[in-house]
Chains A and B, each alone.
Chain A
Amino acid sequence: MSAEVEETLKRIQSHKGVVGVIVVNAEGIPIKSTLDNPTTIQYTGLISGLTDKARSVVRDLDPTNDLTFLRVRSKKHEIMIAPDKEYMLIVVQNTNE
Chain B
Amino acid sequence: MDRLRLDSPDRRTAWKEEKERKLAKLKQLRAERENRRRKQLEKEAQEAAVRASSVPRDDQDLDKMLSSLGVAPVSEVLSSMSSMSSEPGGDHSGSPDKSLEANSTASPRTPSKKQPQLSVVSVQATNIPPRETVTYAKGVQTSGSGDGHGYYEDWWRPRKAEEEDNSLTMLDTPPIYGGGHNRHLPPGILPTGMPTVQDVKPALATEAEKKVEEEKPQPPRELSDEEKQMLMMTEEFHSFFDRSTRILERALAEDANIFVDYSHDYEEDGEANESGGIKLSLNRWFYDERWSRNRCITCMDWSPQYPELLVASYNNNEDSPHDPDGVALVWNTKFKKDTPEYIFHCQSPVMSATFARFHPNLIIGGTYSGQIVLWDNRSQKRTPVQRSPLSASAHTHPVYCMKVVGTQNAHNLISVSTDGKMCSWSLDMLSQPQESMELQHKQSRAVAVTCMAFPHGDVNNFIVGSEEGAVFTACRHGSKAGIVDAYEGHQGPVTGISTHSTPGPIDFSHLFLTSSIDWTVKLWSVKETKPLYSFEDNGDYVYEVAWSPIHPALFTTVDGSGRIDLWNLNQDTEVPTASTVVEGSPALNRVSWTNSGQQITVGDDMGKIWIYDVGEQLALPRADDWARLVHTMGELKNNQADDDQSTRHYDSSFSSLTSLSSSPLR
Contact = CB atoms under 8 A, between A and B. Distances in A.
A59 B255 CA distance: 29
A16 B251 CA distance: 12
Contacts of A47: none
A15 B237 contact: no
Given A41-B220, A80-B251, A25 B231 contact: yes
Given A32-B232, A52-B158, A86-B236, A12 B245 contact: yes
Given A29-B223, A31-B232, A87-B237, A15 B245 contact: no
Interface string A84-95: 111101010100
Interface residues of B, number: 33
Contacts of B231: 25, 31
Nearest to B216: A45
A15 B236 CA distance: 25
Interface in B194-235: 216, 219-220, 222-223, 228-229, 231-233
Contacts of A32: 228, 232
- Would you call the interface of chain A mostly helix, strand, loop, or mixed? mixed
Contacts of A85: 240
Contacts of B229: 2
B243 interface: yes
Given A1-B238, A5-B238, A18-B252, A63 B164 contact: yes
Interface in A38-97: 41, 44-45, 52, 55-56, 59, 63, 69, 71, 80, 82, 84-87, 89, 91, 93
B251 A89 contact: no
A21 B232 CA distance: 15
Interface residues of A, number: 36
A36 interface: no
Interface string B33-53: 000000000000000000000
Contact of B248 (A30, A44, A63, A89): A89
Interface in B152-182: 156-158, 164, 167
Interface string A1-36: 110010010011001101000010101111110000
| From A29, A52, A59, residue with most partner B Cβ within 10 Å | A29
A2 B232 contact: yes
A29 B220 contact: yes
A41 B223 CA distance: 13
Contacts of B233: 1-2
A55 B232 contact: no
B228 to A, nearest CB: 5
Nearest to B247: A82
B247 A5 contact: no
Contact of A31 (B158, B223, B252): B223
A25 B237 CA distance: 10
Nearest to A9: B245
Given A27-B219, A87-B240, A52 B157 contact: yes
Nearest to B231: A31
Given A31-B232, A41-B220, A89 B145 contact: no
A88 to B, nearest CB: 8
Contacts of B220: 28-30, 41, 44-45
B67 interface: no
Contacts of A12: 245, 248-249, 252
A44 B223 CA distance: 14
A11 B233 CA distance: 19
B183 A93 contact: no
B240 A84 contact: yes
Contacts of A86: 236-237, 240
B244 interface: yes
B241 A5 contact: yes
Nearest to B158: A56
A8 B216 CA distance: 31
Contacts of A91: 248, 252
A80 B253 CA distance: 12
Given A2-B233, A55-B158, A89-B240, 5 more contacts: A18-B252, A31-B232, A80-B252, A82-B243, A82-B247
Interface of A: 1-2, 5, 8, 11-12, 15-16, 18, 23, 25, 27-32, 41, 44-45, 52, 55-56, 59, 63, 69, 71, 80, 82, 84-87, 89, 91, 93
Give the 5 A-B residue pairs with the shortest CB-CB distance, closest first: A82-B244, A56-B158, A89-B244, A84-B240, A87-B240
